[in-house]
Amino acid sequence: MSQQGARSGINPILGILLVIAVIAAGVLGYLYYRQRQDVVKIDVPGFQGTISKDKGVDIEVGKDK
pLDDT, one tens digit per residue, over 10-51 is: 788 998 999 999 999 999 998 888 777 667 777 788 778 887
In this prediction, residue 57 carries a pLDDT of 77
Q: Is residue 7 part of a domain?
A: no
pLDDT of 56 strictly over 90: no
Q: Report DSSP letters for 1-64, one per residue.
A: ----PPPPS--HHHHHHHHHHHHHHHHHHHHHHHHHS-EEEEEETTEEEEEETTTEEEEEES--
- Cβ atoms of 53 and 40 closer than 8 Å: no
pLDDT of 5 strictly over 70: no
In this prediction, residue 2 carries a pLDDT of 52
> Rounded to an integer, what distance in angstroms lies between the CA atom of residue 54 and that of residue 58?
11
Total count of domains within the chain: 1
- In terms of pTM, does the model score above 0.75? no
Expressed as residue numbers, the domain containing 49 is 12-61
Q: Is residue 2 part of a domain?
A: no
Q: Is residue 48 part of a domain?
A: yes
